[in-house]
Amino acid sequence: MTEINLDNLDDFIRGTAILGTGGGGDPYIGSLMLKQELEHCGSIQLIDPEDAPDDMLAVSLACMGAPTVFVEKIPNTKTAIDGMRRSEKEIGRKFNAIIPLEAGGLNATLPLAVAARLGLPVVDGDGMGRAFPEFQMTTFNFSGVRCAPFVMTDDFGNTVLIDTDEAARAEAYGRPVCVKMGGIAQIASYAMTGEEIRRCTVPRTVTLALEIGRTVREARIKGEQNTAEALIDYFETSNPPRFARSLFDGKVEDVVRELSDGWTRGQVTLSNLDGSTMEIPFQNEFSRAILDGRTVTITPDLIMILDRETGEAITTETLRYGQRVRVLGVAAVPIMRTPEALEIIGPRAFGLDEDFSPVESIAWNGE
Amino acid sequence: MTEINLDNLDDFIRGTAILGTGGGGDPYIGSLMLKQELEHCGSIQLIDPEDAPDDMLAVSLACMGAPTVFVEKIPNTKTAIDGMRRSEKEIGRKFNAIIPLEAGGLNATLPLAVAARLGLPVVDGDGMGRAFPEFQMTTFNFSGVRCAPFVMTDDFGNTVLIDTDEAARAEAYGRPVCVKMGGIAQIASYAMTGEEIRRCTVPRTVTLALEIGRTVREARIKGEQNTAEALIDYFETSNPPRFARSLFDGKVEDVVRELSDGWTRGQVTLSNLDGSTMEIPFQNEFSRAILDGRTVTITPDLIMILDRETGEAITTETLRYGQRVRVLGVAAVPIMRTPEALEIIGPRAFGLDEDFSPVESIAWNGE
B120 touches chain A (CB under 8 A): no
CA–CA min distance A90, chain B (Å): 9
A163 touches chain B (CB under 8 A): yes
Contact indicator for A96, A57 with CB cutoff of 8 Å: yes
B162 touches chain A (CB under 8 A): yes
What is the pTM for the complete model shown?
0.88
| B180/A158 Cβ within 8 A | no
> In sequence order, what are the residues at sequence separation of 6 or more whose Cβ sits closer than 8 angstroms to the Cβ of residue B348?
B354, B355
Pick A173's closest partner by Cβ from B164, B172, B177.
Answer: B177
> In sequence order, what are the residues at sequence separation of 6 or more whose Cβ sits closer than 8 angstroms to the Cβ of residue A11?
A210, A211, A213, A214, A217
CA dihedral A232, A233, A238, A241 (to 10 degrees): 70
CA–CA min distance A261, chain B (Å): 11
Chain mean position to CA B3: 19
pLDDT tens figures, A44-80 = 999 999 999 999 999 999 999 877 777 777 888 999 9
pLDDT tens figures, B272-321 = 999 999 999 999 899 999 999 999 999 999 999 999 999 999 999 889 99
> Which residues of B fall within a CB distance of 8 Å from A161?
159-163
Distance CA A260, CA A264 (A): 6
> Which residues of A fall within a CB distance of 8 Å from B164?
158-159
ipTM value: 0.84
> Which residues of A fall within a CB distance of 8 Å from B86?
163
Q: Distances in Å between the alpha carbon of B160 and those of A31, B44, B149, B172, B350?
A: 33, 29, 10, 13, 26
Pick A173's closest partner by Cβ from B86, B160, B164.
Answer: B160
Distance CA B4, CA B210 (A): 9
Contact indicator for A207, A124 with CB cutoff of 8 Å: yes
Distance CA A161, CA B159 (A): 8
A64 touches chain B (CB under 8 A): no
CA dihedral A165, A168, A173, A178 (to 10 degrees): 120
β-pair partners for B126: B202
β-pair partners for B135: none
| B162/A159 Cβ within 8 A | yes
Can you give the residue ranges of every domain in chain A? 3-203, 234-362
Instruction: Please give the interface size between A and B, counted as residue pairs whose CB atoms are below 8 Å apart.
Output: 52
A168 touches chain B (CB under 8 A): no
- What is the reported pLDDT for B225? 73
Of the candidates B175, B142, B364, B188, the one whose C-alpha atom is nearest the C-alpha of residue B259 is B175
DSSP string, B120-180: --EESEESSSS--SSTT-SHHHHTT----SEEEE-TTS-EEEEE-S-HHHHHHHHHHHHHH
pLDDT-based confidence at residue B365 (cuts at 50, 70, 90): low
DSSP string, B188-257: EEEEEEHHHHHHH-EETHHHHHHHHHHHHHHHHHH-SS-HHHHHHHHHHHSSS---EEEEEEEEEEEEEE
SS3 A63: strand
pLDDT tens figures, B104-119 = 989 999 999 999 999 9
| B176/A177 Cβ within 8 A | yes
A176 touches chain B (CB under 8 A): yes
CA–CA min distance B65, chain A (Å): 15
Of the candidates B184, B170, B9, B169, the one whose C-alpha atom is nearest the C-alpha of residue B79 is B184
A3-203: CATH topology: CV3147-like fold (3.40.1610)
* Residue among A153, A180, A181, A187 with most chain B CBs within 10 A, to mutate: A180
Distance CA A144, CA B224 (A): 70
Distance CA A339, CA A356 (A): 10
Contact indicator for B183, B51 with CB cutoff of 8 Å: no
B303 touches chain A (CB under 8 A): no
Nearest CA in chain A to B150: A160
Half-sphere exposure of A169 (CA within 13 A, CB side): 21
A180 touches chain B (CB under 8 A): yes
Distance CA B95, CA A214 (A): 60
B243 touches chain A (CB under 8 A): no
Is domain A234-362 classified as CATH 1.20.1740.10? no
B260 touches chain A (CB under 8 A): no
Nearest CA in chain A to B182: A173
Nearest CA in chain B to A86: B163
B243-362 architecture in CATH?
Beta Barrel (2.40)
CA–CA min distance A218, chain B (Å): 47
Q: Phi and psi at residue B110, in whole multiples of 5°?
A: -55, -45
Distance CA B161, CA B333 (A): 32
Nearest CA in chain A to B155: A164
| B179/A176 Cβ within 8 A | yes
Nearest CA in chain A to B159: A163
Distance CA B289, CA B281 (A): 7
B158 touches chain A (CB under 8 A): yes
> Which residues of A fall within a CB distance of 8 Å from B162?
158-161
Pick A159's closest partner by Cβ from B158, B163, B166.
Answer: B163
Pick A158's closest partner by Cβ from B86, B169, B180.
Answer: B169
β-pair partners for B97: B58
- What is the reported pLDDT for B366? 59
- Amino acid identity of residue A136, one-letter, is Q
Nearest CA in chain A to B261: A176
β-pair partners for B152: B160, B187
Of the candidates B194, B190, B196, the one whose C-alpha atom is nearest the C-alpha of residue B167 is B190
Own/partner long-range contacts of B198-201 (Cβ < 8 Å, ≥24 apart): B198/B49, B198/B50, B198/B52, B199/B143, B200/B127, B200/B139, B200/B140, B200/B143, B200/B144, B200/B145, B201/B49, B201/B99, B201/B123, B201/B125, B201/B126, B201/B127, B201/B139, B201/B140
Distance CA B350, CA B284 (A): 11
Pick A163's closest partner by Cβ from B159, B163, B166.
Answer: B159
Q: What is the pLDDT along chain A (367 residues), one digit of tens a residue?
A: 589 999 999 999 999 999 999 987 777 888 999 999 999 999 999 999 999 999 999 999 999 987 777 777 788 899 999 999 999 999 999 999 999 999 998 999 999 999 999 999 999 999 999 999 899 999 999 999 999 999 999 999 999 999 999 999 999 999 999 999 998 999 999 999 999 999 999 999 999 999 999 999 999 999 877 899 999 999 999 988 999 999 999 999 999 998 877 778 999 999 999 999 999 999 989 999 999 999 999 999 999 999 999 999 999 988 999 999 999 999 999 999 999 999 999 999 999 999 999 999 998 765 5
pLDDT tens figures, B126-173 = 999 999 989 999 999 999 999 999 999 999 999 999 999 999 999 999
